[in-house]
Chains A and B, each alone.
Chain A
């Protein structure tokens, strides 16, 4: 597939997974990778919520990102009032989506939590949801250490179908 040329918004899970499989340089070398301040904070030691944490150097992380966005209270309040599903996300995921809603460019979002994906479907952004595996392959990089399943293209396709069905049943 053709490599995406616009902004790639990534969440905490993706940054940590990239670090784990030594794919961060490939990702940020191949794309304009952006995130929000809360996700940046959540990648730091003690806040990763992982038993075995990655040593993610903040300076290196910042230098490699195209942008780290602040999210205003107004943007977050607007998002929370737009769809209740926002309130079921982790703080970083919530702010990343709140930021995405303020943009008018052709961004894509890489965040593999099902709740984040379900929100994307509800907000009618299904075609903007991308897998880390697809991004890396399109950039010509195949991680030596395998990606966890939720970062693969096959898992994303299957999960989006299942979540779309759940949404369809509700409407």
Chain B
């Protein structure tokens, strides 16, 4: 607890532009060494000192002690459309709580953070084709199979050590990538149609795998007027992961189809691959399987909803993911976190929480 309180006092002091000497004066300490010792967790604070910090910084007591709070440790990159910055900032706190819960409780129940972090050897100077080639290799080396979208989340979690959370975010948010010192997380709006959800997943994966070389922007437009170089690379990578040439080749020669037959084939294939027909069209163009002029002639409205009158009704992916739910379940079972606390954290009633465990085949760890 001392280390947590100390690091949060330090973060607030720095946010307020204060030196350790400044803080020592405000706390009536003899010297700045006392502040330094508190910030490193070497010296415990008393209840009175903690309440003095609450008063000085104008925050709640829980700010210093809450184990489910990210205080400047996480960097987010949001994929969104038209979300007001204040609303996004508030949602970032809520999403951060989910991530912090996994990060805090995981190691307590034997689910530690991965030892190593994977990265792609791409830079801002990389060619679009190089990003696509990386996507192709990822699909092949991690054996994503005939329908890569169906297995991508599982591979990201199991083989790449990422946490992939299906969430119900505020309106306008498609997803996010989040980097913590010891953990990478992808958040996906589970309410999005399958094609967009899978594309977002692969797109965010690119950001995670290239974070150091090309840190993504904090806020990205889901449908921007102009794409930055990094976004172009991310889209190229995502398309290749979800629609590798080897997978598309099993659908035969695309040049033999024209007009309505081509459109019908694009829509049917996109349904099968769990992607959008429009994304498939441009992927085929970029691979040279379809002439650019032919691709450009297809009216966008003929590919909307993959040719269906409205988005296909499909079961929503369950909230969060299995590893997240298992960690929370073990933590409740071992008495490490209270059920009501988890209920608030996940935004679910206690009864809905029990159902969530059952969805993942986990016996609810409480009988309240």
Residues of A within 8 A of B (CB): 12-13, 17, 42, 49-52, 73-74, 76-78, 80-81, 84, 86-90, 92-93, 112-118, 148-150, 155, 163, 166
Contact A13 B368 (CB under 8 A): yes
**Which residues of A have CB within 8 Å of B66?**
87
In the complex, whether B334 has a CB less than 8 A from a CB of chain A is yes
B351 contacts A90, C-beta separation under 8 Å: no
Sample of 19 further A-B pairs with CB below 8 A, known A80-B50, A88-B336, A113-B368: A13-B340, A17-B368, A42-B340, A73-B54, A77-B47, A77-B50, A77-B61, A80-B1, A80-B61, A80-B65, A87-B1, A88-B341, A90-B341, A93-B340, A114-B335, A115-B337, A115-B338, A115-B341, A118-B334
Residues of A near B54 (CB, < 8 A) are: 73
A86 to B336, CA, bound (A): 10
Contact indicator A93/B335 (Cβ below 8 Å): no
Chain B residues with CB below 8 A from A87, complex form: 1, 62, 65-67
B152 CB to closest chain A CB, in angstroms? 33
CA distance A80 to B60 in the complex (A): 13
Question: Inside 8 A of A51's CB, which chain B residues have their CB?
Answer: 349-352
- Pick the contact of A118: B62, B336, B341 (CB < 8 A): B336
B334 → chain A, closest Cβ, in Å? Answer: 6
Top-3 shortest CB links A-B: A118-B335, A114-B335, A90-B340
What are 25 sample pairs from A and B whose C-beta atoms fall under 8 A apart?
Answer: A42-B340, A49-B343, A49-B344, A49-B350, A50-B349, A51-B350, A74-B51, A76-B61, A77-B50, A80-B61, A81-B50, A87-B67, A88-B337, A88-B341, A89-B338, A89-B341, A93-B338, A93-B340, A112-B368, A113-B338, A115-B337, A148-B368, A149-B367, A150-B368, A155-B367
Interface residues of B in 62-78 (CB under 8 A from A): 62, 65-67
Contact, CB under 8 Å: B344 / A73: no
Enumerate chain A residues within 8 angstroms of B352, measured Cβ to Cβ. Answer: 51
8 Å CB contact of B336 from A49, A78, A81, A115:
A115
Cβ of B48: which chain A residues have Cβ within 8 Å of it?
74
Q: Select which of A52, A80, A114 is within 8 A of B332 by beta carbon.
A: A114
Closest residue on chain B to residue A88 by CB atoms: B337
Mostly, the A contact residues are helix
Q: How far is the CA of A74 from the CA of B47 in the complex (A)?
A: 6
In the assembled complex, the Cα of A92 lies from the Cα of B70 at a distance in Å of 23
Interface residues of B in 322-337 (CB under 8 A from A): 332-337
* Most A Cβ at <10 Å: residue of B44, B50, B334, B335: B335
Q: Which residues of chain B are within 8 angstroms of A93 by Cβ–Cβ distance?
A: 338, 340
**B67 in complex: contacting residue of A50, A76, A78, A88, CB < 8 Å:** A88
In the complex, B262 has a CB within 8 A of chain A: no
Name which residue of chain A comes closest to B343, CB basis.
A49
Q: Which residue of A lies closest to B66 (CB)?
A: A87
Chain B interface size band reads: 20 to 34
Nearest CB on B from A46, distance (A): 11
A49–B353 Cα gap in the complex (Å)? 10
Q: Give A90's nearest chain B residue, CB to CB.
A: B340
Q: Which residue of A12, A52, A74, A81 is within 8 Å of B351 (Cβ)? A: A52
Which residues of the partner chain B approach A115 to less than 8 Å between Cβ atoms? Answer: 332, 335-339, 341
CB distance from B158 to the nearest CB of A (A): 28
Are A113 and B349 touching (Cβ within 8 A)?
A: no
In the complex, residue of chain B having the shortest beta-carbon distance to the beta carbon of A42: B340
Complex Cα spacing A113 to B342, Å = 12
Docked pose: A93 CA to B367 CA in angstroms: 17
Bound-state CA distance A113–B335 (Å) is 8
Contact of B367 among A49, A52, A148 (CB under 8 A): A148
Q: How far is the CB of A13 from chain B (nearest CB, A)?
A: 6
Q: Choose among B62, B65, B332, B368 the residue with the greatest number of A CB atoms under 10 Å from its CB.
A: B368
Residue B45, interface by CB 8 Å: yes
> Contact between A12 and B340 (Cβ–Cβ < 8 Å)?
yes
Q: A113-B338, A114-B332, A115-B338 known; A49 and B51 CB under 8 Å?
A: no
Write out the residue numbers on chain A whose beta carbons fall within 8 Å of the beta carbon of B44: 81
Q: Do residues B340 and A49 form an inter-chain contact, with CB atoms below 8 A?
A: yes
Chain B 91-120 interface residues, beta-carbon cutoff 8 Å to A: none
What's the least CB distance linking A70 to chain B, in Å? 15
Is B360 at the interface (CB under 8 A from chain A)? no
CA distance A52 to B350 in the complex (A): 10
Nearest B residue (CB) for A112? B368
Contact A92 B340, beta carbon cutoff 8 Å: yes
* Contact yes or no, B335 A163, CB < 8 A: yes
